[in-house]
Structure 1
Amino acid sequence: MIALHLSSKGFQINSETITFPVSIDTLKQCLNDDVKIFKRKFNTIFTWSDLGIMAYSKDGNVAESITISLCLDTHNFSPKQVFSGIFYYNNQDIVRYYKSHKQQHVKLFKGDDSGALVENGISACFSKEDDCICAIQINNYIPYERGAGLPEDKYIIKPLNEDILIFEDFGFKLSVIEELMYIKGLMEPVFDLFEFADWYKARDIDIDEEGYEPIAEVTQYFKDLPIPKRLASEITDFYQDGGNDIYMNLCPFSGGAVEYWDIETAIDAKQFPNLKKVTLCYATDAAYKEFEQLGIETEWL
């Protein structure tokens, strides 16, 4: 029986300590010589079919990772048997430990909703389908760095050395941002919710969980965002729709039928001398009448 252990001592196969990358010859000694080789375009896969184990190699000589199959798959390189040995994490069954210690799951990449167990520089990453664990991949642990590649100050709001517009109504401001940022490209950076969540370090913003309601940090960003007064003349009309980029970045899964961003007053329109027409779906009846009273062509979506 194959015995795998991941602990403070490292990763072991039948008491043999394995470090990555590991030579294929070492794996043959630890497992057996009955291995099938599948050469692919970018790597070579070594499959111990009867053991439910695979090793992935870039150069065909050393393996960067090992995968333990817990479910049968249909790929030609997949093992014909699932792993029937034992796999312990700190002397406990690794699957049971993983399921009962969610607070110890370590995210390995953006969007990783499975997480890994990490010990002594080695990670065990769990592949799941419908809450069933299908495979465990073992390799060197590479810490996930949130926001990697993004400028550290990308979404830090900087004061402007010029006059700015002052808004009484947040919903009105959002419609202006839609026009200036997303349609005309006159404001930078162009806000992207998923990029912002990756960049933001004060806490982990889970868009899949939180995207059904306004996300507080995103709402505050747009409330604080200054708009130069010189851009006021660029606004000639605006068109509200639930699919506007501004709303999709504020609350992507709202479904559109919400009142979070209703324009409650049209008083801010006085700052926009060229505003001639508005199409509304997020506004109160009172605001609608105010637009009309200001001589602005107004219609409901």
Structure 2
Amino acid sequence: MAQFKDFNFKLLVIEKLMYEDETLTPAFSIDERMRDRGIADTVTYVYDNDLAFSVLEESRTYFEQLEISDELLASVDELLLDGGHQVYYECSPVWDGEDDLFDVRSLDDLALLPNLRLIDNADMLTLPDAEDQLAARGIEAG
């Protein structure tokens, strides 16, 4: 199984496969996990426990340990950078998109996606050489 180096890049892939394409199943739900623990309202729990604007440990552990087959990785031909992704809610239910919590910090994981052809909203990448790295792999920055 593929090993991702950048957690935030992996989240982009999970967004595509789990929440958009629905091919990586079952879909993770932090609200369901919290209900299983007897917590009725995830957002209230997050605020009451000073966990706002951080990745919940339960979510981080789940997504870090989640294995994605090479076959599913090969199916990814497009990624979208967008602060409104479902996977971000599942990680940080009250995140407002106003900080760098989910910024991709490395594009080393591009090698795991052999058929990636487009990263939409690539201008949101804050890496100084992102455009060059994408172009070197024949990936369009949309």
Q: TM-score range by the shorter chain?
A: 0.7 to 0.9
Whole-Å separation in 2 of the counterparts to 1:274 and 1:182 = 19
Give TM-score, length-normalised by structure 1. Answer: 0.41
Taking structure 2 as the reference length, the TM-score comes to 0.82
User: What is the aligned partner in structure 1 of residue 84 from structure 2?
Assistant: 243
**Amino acid in structure 2 at the alignment position of 1:217:** E
Match of 1:192 in 2: 29
Matched, 1:183 2:26: no
1:207 to 16, 41, 46: 46
Whichever residue aligns with residue 116 of structure 2, its letter is L
Could you report, residue by residue, the CA deviation over 1:51-97 in whole angstroms, capped at 9, with x for unpaired residues? xxxxxxxxxxxxxxxxxxxxxxxxxxxxxxxxxxxxxxxxxxxxxxx
Structure 1 segment 101-250 matched on structure 2, within 5 A: 164-200=1-37, 206-209=45-48, 210-250=51-91
Aligned partner of 2:109: which letter?
Answer: D
SS in 2 for 1:238: strand
Query: Counterparts in 2 of 1:58-97, with a 5 A limit?
Result: none
* Residues 282 and 249 of structure 1, relative CA distance in 2, 3 Å threshold: farther
Larger proportion of strand = 1
How large is the Cα RMSD of the aligned pairs? 2.2
In structure 2, what is the equivalent of residue 297 of structure 1? Answer: 140
**TM superposition shift of 1:199:** 2.2
Q: How many residue pairs get matched?
A: 134
Runs of 4+ with >2 A deviation: 207-213, 279-289
Of 258, 263, 277, the residue aligned with 2:118 is 277
Q: Which has the higher contact order (CA 8 A, sep 6+)?
A: 2
**Distance across 2 between alignment mates of 1:212 and 1:232:** 29
Instruction: Please list every run of 5 or more consecutive structure 1 residues that lacks an aligned counterpart in the other structure.
Output: 1-163
Q: CA deviation at 1:244?
A: 0.6
DSSP 3-state at the match of 2:4: coil
Distance in 1 (CA, whole Å) between partners of 2:116 and 2:37 is 35
Q: Alpha-carbon deviations, 1:216-267, whole Å to 9, x = none?
A: 2211211111111111221000101111101111112221122122222222
CA distance in 1, matches of 2:133, 2:104: 11
CA distance in 2, matches of 1:215, 1:292: 34
Structure 1 vs Structure 2: percent identity of aligned residues? 27
Q: What's the counterpart of residue 267 of structure 1?
A: 108
- C-alpha displacement of 1:284: 2.3
1:219–1:240 CA distance, 2 compared to 1 (3 A): same
Structure 2 stretches lacking a partner, 5+ long: none
| Alpha-carbon distance in 2 for matches of 1:282, 1:258 | 13
Tell me how far 1:285 sits from its aligned partner. Answer: 2.8
Could you say which structure has the higher helix fraction?
2
